[in-house]
């Protein structure tokens, strides 16, 4: 794969030469971009000799005379052809510029034009690393998905001892390999059709009242967004929700469990992966009134009957399709996930913890346990529902890869 190695100013810049060689030894093509400050520590010729590639040192060529239209938009071409951007060493200056969208040289402009994975290995004085401004920049970059490798502790060039040394070459290479594997995984849904159920169902008692639950549909829509990002065709069967569906997904709106079952079965044949993330009401009123029930005539006891078990029905008819079930639980996540996995013929069950403030139903975050048919139990600590969606699809990729 093609990797762009960004080198910024600092005494650790000499280690970037070793990193370039280590990445090449793993069959990657390395293209180096140097900031002006980096060139004060290591000459571009060093990297040109190591990589056999042109070293980019400025936006418009090395002189005004060399400036051409091609060099003026080269950052776009580099962004389009590379599969990972690695910045090592990453100075406090580059962390700040990336975090705030400042584009005043080739590397910072490249970062804004690049949509792929970014790995950064900071190196600086301990006080600079600990400064609130740097900490804020680091957190912002992490929030955007940048992989930051914490600097190591040790003797620094300034004479201080503490955190600030660029992490080891082996650690950086391992992080790069991990994000590249993730990139491969992110393309694994091309040509696949993912059928997702989302949101609650409503089971009417009369024209104005119904039985339902607190589900907002956020988890199902987050799964749809992630599947679309990975190249899948996505079909969402959605219960009542106020959320806008992800652009690019085919959406079928339903209200009751029976309607959801019918919509799923009508589209089961075209699906290769089914994710049952909807929170289907388990019971419905045994008798539905055609007229609004008056308070004075309201029955003292409400007779209920079970709704169709959509997951079990899919499990009976799934064939070679990959089936993921969800279990909303307040406790015993592992036991309940295993029970549902076996009872419903799932390939994976995601048991998400509900009942805690800020997670689960009608919230932006989830806390979950992913249990697979291979006996794995993968903890997902509290995090965004989109992050959980990504983790679920990573697990699907690994399990399907193991069976090919």
pTM of the model: 0.62
Q: What is the mean pLDDT of the chain?
A: 88
Residue ending a domain, choose from 185, 206, 223: 185
Q: 268 and 140, same structural domain?
A: no
Q: 180 and 197, same structural domain?
A: no
pLDDT at 160: 65
Express each pLDDT in 289-317 by its tens digit.
Answer: 898 988 887 878 889 999 999 999 999 99
pLDDT at 27: 87
Q: 314 and 201, same structural domain?
A: yes
Q: How many structural domains compose the chain?
A: 2
Q: 276 and 149, same structural domain?
A: no
pLDDT at 64: 42
Q: 204 and 172, same structural domain?
A: no
| Residue 283: cis peptide before it, omega within 30 degrees of 0 | no
Distance, in Å, from the CA atom of 372 to the CA atom of 349, rounded to the nearest integer, reads 6
Residue identified by tokens 């900071």 is 122
Residue ending a domain, choose from 185, 211, 240: 185
Q: Domain range for residue 104?
A: 2-185
pLDDT at 67: 43
CB 378, CB 369: distance < 8 Å: yes
Residue ending a domain, choose from 115, 150, 185: 185
Please list the active-site residues.
158
Distance, in Å, from the CA atom of 23 to the CA atom of 88, rounded to the nearest integer, reads 12
Q: 314 and 212, same structural domain?
A: yes
pLDDT at 402: 67
Q: Which CATH number belongs to the domain containing residue 12 in this structure?
A: 3.40.50.1950
Q: 210 and 120, same structural domain?
A: no
Q: 378 and 254, same structural domain?
A: yes
Taking 50 as the pLDDT cut, the residues of the chain under it are: 62-72
CB 88, CB 166: distance < 8 Å: yes
Q: 177 and 91, same structural domain?
A: yes
pLDDT at 383: 81
Task: State the alpha helices, DSSP H only, in 217-364.
Answer: 218-229, 257-267, 310-317, 333-343
pLDDT at 158: 60
Q: How many CB atoms lie within 10 A of CB 287?
A: 12
């Amino acid at each position: 794969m093609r990797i762009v190695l960004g080198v910024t100013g600092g005494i650790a810049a000499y280690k970037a030469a070793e990193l370039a060689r280590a990445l090449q030894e793993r069959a990657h093509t390395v293209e180096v971009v140097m900031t002006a400050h980096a060139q004060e520590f290591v000459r571009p010729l060093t990297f040109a000799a190591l990589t056999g590639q042109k070293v980019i040192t400025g936006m418009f060529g090395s002189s005004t005379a060399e400036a051409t239209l091609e060099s003026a938009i080269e950052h776009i071409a580099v962004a389009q052809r590379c599969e990972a951007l690695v910045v090592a060493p990453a100075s406090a200056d580059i962390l700040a510029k990336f975090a705030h969208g400042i584009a005043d040289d080739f590397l910072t402009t490249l970062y804004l034009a690049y949509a792929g994975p970014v790995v950064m290995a900071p190196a600086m004085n301990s006080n600079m690393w600990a400064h609130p401004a740097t900490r804020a920049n680091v957190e912002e970059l992490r929030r955007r998905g940048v992989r930051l490798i914490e600097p190591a502790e040790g003797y620094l060039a300034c004479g201080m001892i503490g955190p600030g040394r660029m992490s080891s070459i082996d650690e950086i290479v391992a992080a790069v390999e991990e994000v590249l594997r993730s990139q491969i995984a992110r393309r694994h849904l091309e040509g696949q059709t993912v059928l997702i159920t989302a949101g609650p169902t409503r089971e009417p008692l009369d024209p104005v009242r119904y039985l339902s639950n607190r589900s907002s549909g956020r988890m199902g829509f987050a799964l749809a967004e992630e599947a679309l990002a990975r190249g899948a065709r996505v079909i969402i069967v959605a219960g009542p929700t106020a959320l806008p569906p992800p652009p690019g997904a085919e959406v079928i709106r339903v209200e009751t469990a029976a309607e959801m079952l019918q919509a799923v079965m009508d589209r089961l044949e075209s699906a290769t992966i089914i994710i049952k993330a909807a929170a289907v009401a388990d019971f419905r009123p045994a008798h539905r009134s055609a007229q609004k029930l008056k308070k004075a005539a309201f029955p003292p006891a409400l007779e209920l009957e079970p709704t169709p078990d959509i997951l079990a029905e899919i499990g009976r008819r799934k064939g070679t399709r990959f089936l993921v079930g969800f279990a909303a639980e307040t406790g015993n996540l592992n036991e309940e996930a295993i029970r549902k996995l076996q009872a419903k013929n799932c390939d994976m069950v995601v048991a998400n913890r509900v009942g805690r403030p800020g997670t689960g139903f009608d919230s932006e975050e989830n806390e979950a346990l992913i249990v697979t048919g291979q006996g794995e139990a993968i903890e997902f600590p509290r995090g965004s529902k989109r992050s959980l969606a990504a983790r679920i699809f990573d697990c699907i990729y690994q399990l399907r890869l193991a069976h090919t």
